[in-house]
Structure 1
Amino acid sequence: MGFLHLPGLGKAHFHEYGSGQKPLLAFHGYGMTGKQFHVLEKSILPKYHIYGFDHFFHGGSKLDGWTEKQIREGMPKSMVRTYMQEWFRVYGEQRFSVMGYSIGANLALILVEEYAHLIDDVLLMAPDGLSSYKGFHFLLHNPLGKFMFRKVTKSKWLAPFVLKSVRKAGFIDDNLYQIAYNEIDTEQKRLDTYYTLNLIRLLKPDVEKVATLINQYKINCLLIFGKDDKLFPKSAAMPFIEMLEHVEVHELALGHWLVIKALDEYLVQ
């Protein structure tokens, strides 16, 4: 493990694992850490040397001197370049691959925008960024949604009530409800959720540009979806998939919670 000191951001903590030689920068899902992909021990770890980054407000990554106002305004998309600039400074400019699960896919896809000429493989699981999830967009960009999100964050009872309501309305399933509930049961967790989603609110890739670059540089692309995923299903990503000349797509009988042993066994087979 180690840190990258990202100018204007702070310290990005990363975990190193995997027995392969090919460097792979990996970005986890909400509520996890850069160690999340360790479970893919038979399929991914033997092929790559993984640098699994903790998102800010997760694990050991720390913002440096950001005010709440700055966090609410969001991290400029251009700052994602600093990850690679600092990584190249430490390890030397070289070819690499990227991997992302859920919200982590946004960073992986933005790196494709910036460094496609150096990227070998793109591996995405239940990826955010290929389509817009209306619930997140409402909370992070709509004035009413932003007001409500802030009020819910500050309240002990309102957050569980809203979560139960969206489950009852069918917007999330029991699995997602349990995952989300575990992240709002304390004030600090609610604040971390609020800060995380606001910090990354501007980190949306240009999917048409990404598709063009993947085709141009013949980057290997692996996309994995859960059939019962209500957040980022395969159907929402079809416009992007149809733009690619060569892509490997898998849909498992799972929900959004994909990075588990069952996925490792599936990829091996």
Structure 2
Amino acid sequence: MLPVFKLSNGPIPLLAFHGIGQDHRAFKPLAQALEGRYAIYAFDLFFHGAHTAQVTDDVLTKTRFQEIIRSFLDQHQIGRFAVIGFSMGGRFALATAETFTQQLDELILLAPDGITISPWFRMATSTGFGRQLFRYFLKHMPLLHRFGMVFLSLGLLNRSVLRFAESTLATPEQRESVYNSWSYFRKLHFNHPKLAESLNNHPVRIRFFVGFFDQVLPVSFIKPLTRRLQSYELTVLKTGHNRLIEKVAKLF
């Protein structure tokens, strides 16, 4: 099981999945805004927050994750619910929506990862050699920084993305968490036509919130899914990536 924290009370259970380098506390501003409307159950994802259990497999499969969610729903006697995911947590929100569509009332995605796969993520995780190279660079951060500056000068990397990467990889503990997370979550990807068809066939309210200045997961990254959806809501807020949950909380 994953550690889960109930942050607010309300008639609608809302399963919440945080981003890379965060934990359940990332949703506290949202919990304050939604108190009385949603009962927010915020998970600490693998290698984050209060999750200290050793994983026993090399990669997280959607089947295994869905078993975890099914067990949680059974334990709390939850029938219908909503789900929200920010950044990396978007993968887990989508994996939940994919299996539990018939029980889902609302899908809220904040700058979600998992729709468009970053070429950097694919390069770092898709092969054993790529993962070894990724770990090597994480152990030699000055070299990684120099490569980042070269890619920046060539126009292959945005400055805000470089700043986000450096802040996310600032300490040895953060670097270990990022490596473990990227490697372990690499199989959480989706068949966009199949997922869209399932969502279109059920009365799920789908809401996207993205940052106008977000270069980490920009609005264009949701298009492979949104172009196949019959109905969805899109809100673009004047913010970057890191403050998106806070801005959405103020909007609510």
Are residues 1:177 and 2:167 paired?
Answer: no
Partners of 2:166 and 2:224 in 1: how far apart?
32
> Counterpart of 2:97 in structure 1: which amino acid?
V
Say yes or no: does 1:99 pair with 2:84: yes
| Cα-Cα RMSD | 2.2
- Give 5+ residue unaligned stretches, structure 1: 1-5, 7-11
Describe the superposition over 1:133-178 as per-residue Cα deviations: whole angstroms up to 9, x where unpaired: 1111111114553332021122253344344444444555444433
How many angstroms apart in 1 are the aligned matches of 2:117 and 2:217?
Answer: 9
**Identical positions, percent:** 25
Which residue matches 2:47? 57
Alignment partner of 1:204 out of 189, 204, 216: 189
Tell me which residue corresponds to 1:215. 200
CA distance in 2, matches of 1:63, 1:168: 41
Per-residue Cα deviation, 1:172-230 (whole angstroms, up to 9, x for no partner): 54444333223323323211111111010111122222211211111000001122222
Question: Which of 65, 69, 87 is matched with 1:84 structurally?
Answer: 69
1:228-243 aligned within 5 A: 228-243=213-228
* Letter in structure 2 aligned against 1:102: S
Deviations 1:17-50 (A, max 9, x none): 1232210111000011012121125644442111
After superposition, where does 1:144-183 map in structure 2 within 5 Å?
A: 144-183=129-168
Query: Could you list the runs of 5+ residues in structure 2 that have no partner in the other structure?
Result: none
Q: Contact 1:126–1:258 at 8 Å: present in 2 too? A: no
1:250 equivalent in structure 2: 235
Q: Secondary structure of 2:242's partner?
A: coil
Q: Report what 1:224 is aligned to.
A: 209
Contact 2:209 2:248 in 1 (8 A): no
Q: Distance in 1 between matches of 2:192 and 2:110?
A: 16
CA distance in 1, matches of 2:5, 2:110: 19
Secondary structure of the residue aligned to 2:115 is: coil
Where does structure 1 differ by over 6 angstroms across 4 or more consecutive aligned residues?
none
TM-score (norm 2): 0.90
